[in-house]
Structure formats: structure tokens, C-alpha cells
Amino acid sequence: MTPKETELDWRLRVFDSLSYPSRILRPDGTIVAVNQRFIEQIDSTAEDIIGKRCSDVNRYYFPHQKFPCETAQSCPLRQAVRTKKGQSIVFHLDGDDSGERWEDRVFSPIVGDEGEVRYVIESIRDITQVKMLEKKYSGMQMLIDNVVQNSVSGIMAADRKGNIILMNAAAEQLFDYSAVEADKVNIEDFYPEGVARDIMRKLRDPSIGERGKLPITKVNIRTCHGEEIPVEMTAAIIYEDGKESATAAIFNDLREKLAVEKKLKEAQSQVMQTEKMASLGRLAAGVAHEINNPLTSILLYGNIMQEKLESTNPVKKNLDYILEDAERCRDIVKNLLAYSRQTSPKKDIFLLNALVNESLSLIRDQKLFMHIEVIKDLTSFPIYVEADRSQLCQVVINLIINAIDAMSGSGTLTLTTSGEPRSGIGYLEVSDTGCGIPEENLSKVFDPFFTTKAPGKGTGLGLSMSYGILEENRGKIYVKKTGPAGTTIAIKLPAMADSDGLLFDSIG
Ligand SMILES: Nc1ncnc2c1ncn2[C@@H]1O[C@H](COP(=O)(O)OP(=O)(O)O)[C@@H](O)[C@H]1O
Ligand SMILES: [Mg+2]
């Protein structure tokens, strides 16, 4: 063989042993050579293929497959001939029994001495595995994205500099940022001063849990508008090649949970308060009954004695004192009986506004009101209540006196009446601009004998008696509001729109 022939022989051998199925085509598509792998792949012989057009062979061996041979634009062979540049095209073979396959077919032009394309080598690489992996990975990526996006917990991640790199929909809602806005701020802006640093310190502290992991922690976060929200969070440092590359955190809003806890606590303390009032009531009733009988005798015989004594008798003065104190005791007993609901109310139907005017007129003249401005804010539509009028008058007078006491001589006293048409409830509120009730006394003010006033000034029976009266009249009394700016005590009674018992409902 001549050296030239030897070289050609080598080239053919190289072509034949290429591990990719390959064929050599003329610019018009005629197959001039195929390598061993190509023949193996289609299970044919070189003689069967050589001399045929590539498109015919394609069609014959892959009858269901569409090849882009039709137009000059889509045919990679013609493109390679025209541009004299290699072309690569990925075929998705829908497959028969062998399943889906992908091929990367590369068309490399062989240019002759005159610059014309003489042959094109087409080599076929099976990229099914790569494509399958790609598909699986992108499917997984989509799944992860979906899980993150649809999580009810807020999820956020930041790079080492604190730039936000991930924020799911729940986090957007919690922090009130859109992910785009969040892009422009630093992770530290999502927490009150110093909290982000503290979290990072804990994440890096080997004595707190696993390395780089923050166990469930309660903190406040800060929204876009500066509002602080209590959350429960966990966080983790993400490491890449052993180095910190990012941090990720999961947040759960605690507002609803805390509100429910608070309500539960309130309900529990209300139950305790009711139980306490009931047992105190039984005690008060017992004491009042025991004292009532001897007291009646003291007053009866004392009065008889007083009538019989000469006005000049020096004992008469002492007897006056005894009777005065005995009467005081009788008042206390009366109040105690009212508190323990041992009196029988005389029900009457009357206007709530009339109650305000009547109570005020009974005490209005007193010096008590000297520097007090009285405001009446009364409902313009009629609210009738059914209750023991004189008992309720006593309640309102007590509330007014308490209010005046709290203002130590000067301030504004406001009496308000209102109604809730739908539920048939009337309200009467006594507000002052006084000292307020300290938190620690709130659960005690309705207890009998609880007073903060000087001995001789307060008996501590006003509110407890009022409590009993309201209970007996199917109403309620409570501290509606209190603080350094003053106190509002409210009473609530079943009400109607007219004296015939028409409910509010009917007046709409
Ligand atoms: N309007 C009010 N402002 C501030 N404190 C009040 C008010 N009403 C009641 N209190 C507190 O509740 C306590 C109990 O009131 P009450 O039962 O009427 O007894 P008393 O008036 O004899 O002290 C008062 O001593 C006072 O500490
Ligand atoms: Mg009082």
C-alpha cells in the first residue's frame, strides 16, 4: 500500500471504531459510509444502507418518528452544507417498546480543497440518561419549589451578607413584603434591633443544640410597616464544602395562638371570680342573718329607752351614739344582704335615662359636686328596663360617689346610656377622670369589704352590693375600662323599646 492508501485505511479504521454510531453523507444525503456502531444499532448491514438517502433510512428504521428533513431550514445536513459549520440537533424519539430516547446528532462538514463541502459526518450520541436525569431533577426542583411556596409556614433564606435569596408566599404575607421589595433589604430589617445578630450567635454557639441549627424559639419579627409580630421560628445555617453559605428560617405566626390562650385565661379567671363571689355571697348572707336579729332588738329597745329618757338625762347622749352606730350596722347588713341576693327585688318597668336623672337629683345638691363637671350623654331613643328601681338607683348613686372619690374633688363625670337593639340590652356607664383602679385590685373591687379608702370613709360594700343587685335583676356590672386617665364602670340590663315589653328588634 502507498503511504496515502495507508493513511486512508487508518482514517477508515478510526471512523469504524468510533463509539458513537456515525455515517458519512454526501451533501445530497446519500450515505457513503456507516461505522460498526451504526450498523449494530439498527441491526442491519452496511450493504443495505450505503447508497441510500439518509432521510429514507431514517424513515425506514424509525417509521413513527418525525425527522426535520423536510425543509432546507430544518434539515441539519443542508444547514451544515450551507453554513459549512457543524450543526447539532437533539432528537426526542418517542420510542416503541424500548421507551423514550434522546439523541444528540452532530453534523460535521468535511470541506474540500476548493472550499466546497464534500461530505458531512453525522455522529449520533445517545443522551437519554442525561435527559432523564435532567427531567428528574427539574421535576424534583419543581416539587421542592411547590412545597416551599405552598407551605403555611413562612420560609426565608438569606446569603452570607444577609441578602434575601428566598421568600415564600407565607413569608411575604407575614412580613408584609413582596419578594421583590424584600430583595432590596437586609435580613436584619426583618427583626427588631439586635435580634438577627442574636439568632446568628445562637446558631453558631456549639452549646445550643446541634451545630448550625436553632431549636424552636419565640421571637418578635418586624413587618414592612414596622409592626412587631410574635412568631415561633427555627433556623439553620446552610454549609457548602464545610463553609457557611446561607441561612434559612421557618416562621409560624403566634398571634392567633396567643389570642386564644389569652381568651382561655380570661375565661378561667372569670370562672374563678364567679365562684369566689358565690362563696363570699353565702358567707355574707350567713353573717348578715346572724347579725340582723340582735340588731333589730338593739334598735327596738334602744329607741324605747330613748323615748322614755328625759332630755336632760346625760345617758341620752350616749344612747344616741349607740343608736347611730346600730343604724350604721343595719345599713351594712342591708348592703350585705343585697350583695348576697337575699333581698327580693320589686320589679318595675322604667326608662334607663330616668334612672340617671333620678340618681343625680338625689345627690346633686351635695358639696361633693363643687368642682366636678357632669356630662349626661343619654340615648335619644327610649330604652326601657325591667328592674327594681330603688335598688338600681342605689347602684348608680354608689357608682357616682366612687367616681367622685376617685377624682379627689375635681374632674369630669360622664353618665352614658345606650342600647344594643339586636340583642335587647341597655347600658348605663359611669365614667370619671380619676386615678383608675390598679391592675392588682381589679379582681377584688367587687369583694365585700374591699376598700382602698380611709377607715370610716369607705365600707367596701358599694360595688359588692351593686354586684348582687345586678345579678338579681338579670344584669351585669363590670369595669369596662380603667387606667391613669380614669375609669368606666358599666352596667348592663335586659331592655326593651317600650313599656309594653316590645323588644328593640321590632323598632329595627
Ligand atoms: N371609679 C373608681 N375609680 C377608682 N377606684 C374605684 C372606683 N370605683 C371603685 N374603686 C375602688 O374599688 C374599691 C371598692 O369600692 P366600693 O365597693 O364602692 O367600696 P368603697 O367605695 O366603700 O371603698 C374602692 O375603695 C376603690 O379602691
Ligand atoms: Mg363606694
Q: CB of 453 closer than 6 A to ligand 1?
A: yes
Sheet arrangement for strand 164-167: 164-167, 154-159, 243-253, 228-240, 213-222
Question: pLDDT exceeding 70 applies to what percent of the chain?
Answer: 96
49-83: pLDDT as tens digits = 899 998 888 888 888 777 877 777 888 999 999 99
**Residue of minimum CA distance from atom 9 in ligand 1:** 402
- Residue at 139 is within a domain: no
Q: CB of 87 closer than 6 A to ligand 1?
A: no
Regarding whether 204 and 108 lie in a shared domain, the answer is no
Q: Which of 86, 126, 91 is nearest to 106 (CA)?
A: 86
- Residue at 333 is within a domain: yes
Residue type present at position 151: S
pLDDT at 243 over 50: yes
**pTM (2 d.p.):** 0.54
CA-CA distance, 424 to 134, in Å (whole number)?
Answer: 69
Using the 3D structure, point to which of 289, 320, 339 is the last residue of a domain.
339
pLDDT at 10 over 90: no
- Residue at 137 is within a domain: no
Using the 3D structure, point to which of 339, 361, 376 is the last residue of a domain.
339
Q: Which atom of ligand 1 is nearest to the CA of 435?
A: 4
Contact 81, 27 (CB under 8 A): yes
pLDDT at 98 over 70: no
370 Cβ neighbours under 8 A, 6+ residues apart: 409
Query: And the C-alpha cell for 491?
Result: 352596667
CA-CA distance, 87 to 109, in Å (whole number)?
Answer: 9
313-366: pLDDT as tens digits = 989 989 999 999 999 888 888 888 877 777 778 888 999 999 999 998 888 767
Ligand 1 site-directed mutation target among 451, 487, 489, 491, most atoms within 8 Å of CB: 451
pLDDT at 499 over 70: no
Q: CB of 394 closer than 6 A to ligand 1?
A: no
157-184: pLDDT as tens digits = 999 999 999 999 999 999 998 877 877 8
Q: Which ligand is nearest to the CA of 489?
A: 1
Q: CB of 462 closer than 6 A to ligand 1?
A: yes
pLDDT at 418 over 50: yes
- Residue at 496 is within a domain: yes
Q: CB of 459 closer than 6 A to ligand 1?
A: yes
CATH number at residue 289: 1.10.287
Q: Which of 233-242, 282-291, 328-337, 413-422 has the highest mean pLDDT?
A: 233-242
Q: Which comes out higher in pLDDT, residue 507 or 153?
A: 153
Ligand 1 site-directed mutation target among 336, 402, 408, 453, most atoms within 8 Å of CB: 402
- Residue at 24 is within a domain: yes
CATH number at residue 433: 3.30.565.10
Query: And the C-alpha cell for 61?
Result: 428504521
How many domains does the chain divide into? 4
Tally DSSP H helices, then E strands, for the chain.
Answer: 14, 17
**Across residues 135-148, what is the average pLDDT?**
90
Name the residue range of residue 435's domain. 347-507
Q: What pLDDT, on the 0 to 100 scale, is given for residue 501?
A: 54
Contact 335, 465 (CB under 8 A): yes
pLDDT at 144 over 50: yes
Q: 40: CA distance to ligand 2 center in Å?
A: 108
**End-to-end alpha carbon distance in the chain:** 117
pLDDT at 457 over 80: yes
**Residue of minimum CA distance from atom 1 in ligand 1:** 403
pLDDT at 507 over 50: no
